Amino acid sequence: MRKGFLLLLDTILAILLLVLLILSMTPQQPQPRFNELMTIQKIHDLELLWSLDGKFEIEEMKHDTRLAFPFQGFEISVNDEVFQSPLVSNSCAVSSEMEFVDESLRVHDIRLLVYC
């Protein structure tokens, strides 16, 4: 009886391993909101970078945004100066707005809109 028990245990472990292997090979569905969360995090990181830098030059901000979102359309607004990238999509958009007071006590309104 001892050999039969070991054979049964070995078979169960082999079947379990085969099932786990098959389950790990099936593609998992991506989270539908993961892209939006990543976009929000990147926008927050850009705003933090810009506020720490303290310079609100639209050309530098366009360059930073193009690096963060190379295949997405975006729109940047700094103190009523608006730049819109040529890649625009109407499917969905994530936006963020920030007011920053610099060392000379001037208020800068910064708005970043990124299309999903």
The whole-model pTM stands at 0.64
- Are 112 and 74 in contact by the 8 Å Cβ rule? The answer is yes
Q: Which two tokens stand for residue 92?
A: 């969905």
| CB-CB contact of 114 with 74 (8 Å) | yes
Tell how strand 107-115 and strand 74-78 pair up. antiparallel
pLDDT tens track for 44-86: 999 998 888 877 788 888 899 999 988 888 999 988 888 888 8
* Per-residue pLDDT at 92: 80
Q: Is 16 helix (H, G, I), strand (E, B) or coil?
A: helix
